[in-house]
Amino acid sequence: MVERAGFEQLEQRERRGRFVTVNAAREVNAGPRTRRALRQGEQRAARDRAEGLDAEAGGAARGLEARGQRGRVDHGGFDRLGGIHGMCFRSGRVALSILFLPSLSPFMSNVRVRFAPSPTGFFHIGSARTALFNWLYARHTGGTFVLRIEDTDKERNSEQFLNVIYDSLTWLGLNWDEGPQVGACGGGAHGPYRQSERADIYQAYLKKLLDAGRAYEKDGAIWFKLLGERHEVYDEHRKKTVTKVKNAPALIDDRIRGRVERVEDEDFVIFRSDGNPVFHFVNVVDDIAMAITHVIRGEDHLSNTSKHVELFQAFGAPVPQFAHIPLILKQNGPGKMSKRDQGALIEEYQRRGYLPEALVNFLSLLGWNPGDDREKMPLEEIIRLFDLPGVNQSNARFDDKKLAHVNMAYLLAQPADRFVALARDYFQRTQPGSPALAAAPECFREVMLLAQPKIKGLEELPAYTGYLFAEDYPVDAKVREKVLAKGDPKARLGELAAALPGFDFSSDTTIEEGIKALAAKNALGFGDYQSVARLAVSGINVGPSITGLFRVLGRERVLARFGRFLTTIT
RNA sequence: GUCCCCAUCGUCUAGCCCGGUCAGGACACCACCCUUUCACGGUGAGAACCGGGGUUCGAAUCCCCGUGGGGACGCCA
DSSP class per residue in A146-161: EE-B----GGG--HHH
Q: Is A385 helix (H, G, I), strand (E, B) or coil?
A: helix
CA–CA dist A304, A119 (Å, integer): 20
pLDDT for the residue numbered A109: 72
Nearest Cα neighbor of A33 from A508, A445, A514, A392 is A392
Strand B at less than 7 A from CB of A418:
no
Per-residue pLDDT, A64? 36
Question: What pLDDT does A229 receive?
Answer: 93
* Amino acid found at A146: V
The verdict on whether omega for the bond into residue A356 sits within 30 degrees of 0, i.e. cis, is no
Q: Are A564 and A518 in contact (CB under 8 A)?
A: no
| A310 contact partners, CB below 8 Å, separation of at least 6 | A224, A226, A250, A264
pLDDT at A158: 73
Between CA A372 and C1' B14 the distance (Å) reads 6
ipTM above 0.85, yes or no: yes
Q: What is the pLDDT of residue A33?
A: 63
Of all nucleotides, the one whose C1′ comes closest to residue A300's CA is: B71
State, as a whole number of angstroms, the distance between the CA of A35 and the C1' of B15: 15
Å separating the CA of residue A25 from the C1' of nucleotide B18: 17
Give yes or no: A225 in active site.
no
How many other C-beta atoms are found inside a 10 Å radius of the C-beta of residue A328? 26
For A11-48, give the DSSP string: HHHHHHHHHHHHHHHHTTT--HHHHHHHHHHHHHHHHH
Chain A 243-282, CB < 7 Å to strand B: 257-258, 260-263, 268-269, 272-274, 276, 278-280
Closest residue, by C-alpha, to the C1' of B75: A272
What's the confidence (pLDDT) of residue A384?
Answer: 94
Angstrom distances, CA of residue A256 to CA of A131, A188, A249: 17, 29, 19
**Mean pLDDT for each consecutive 10-residue tract of chain A (570 residues)?**
24 26 33 66 61 44 34 25 29 32 50 95 94 97 96 73 94 97 92 93 97 95 95 86 93 93 96 94 98 97 97 97 96 90 92 96 96 92 95 95 97 96 96 94 95 95 94 91 87 92 90 92 91 94 94 93 88
Please enumerate in sequence order all residues whose Cβ is within 8 A of that of A346, keeping only pairs 6 or more positions apart, or say none: A123, A124, A125, A127, A128, A168, A171, A172, A359
Q: Strand B: which of residues 283-322 in chain A lie with Cβ below 7 A?
A: 299-304
Predicted confidence at residue A27, as pLDDT, reads 36
Burial of A170 (0-12, 13-18, 19+ CB in 10 A): middle
Residue nearest to nucleotide B2 (CA to C1'): A237
A104 contact partners, CB below 8 Å, separation of at least 6? none
How long is the CA A23 to C1' B17 vector, in angstroms? 8
Catalytic residue among A208, A244, A336, A339, which?
A339
Strand ranges, E, within A409-543:
none
Q: What's residue A7's pLDDT?
A: 24
> What pLDDT score was predicted for residue A157?
61
Contact A76, A86 (CB under 8 A): yes
| Sign of the dihedral defined by the CA atoms of residues A281, A282, A288, A292, in that order | negative
The reply to whether A392 has its C-beta less than 7 Å from any atom of strand B is yes
Contact predicate A497/A461, CB 8 Å: no
| Residues A289/A277, Cβ–Cβ less than 8 Å | no
Q: Is the dihedral of CA A357, A358, A359, A362 positive or negative?
A: positive
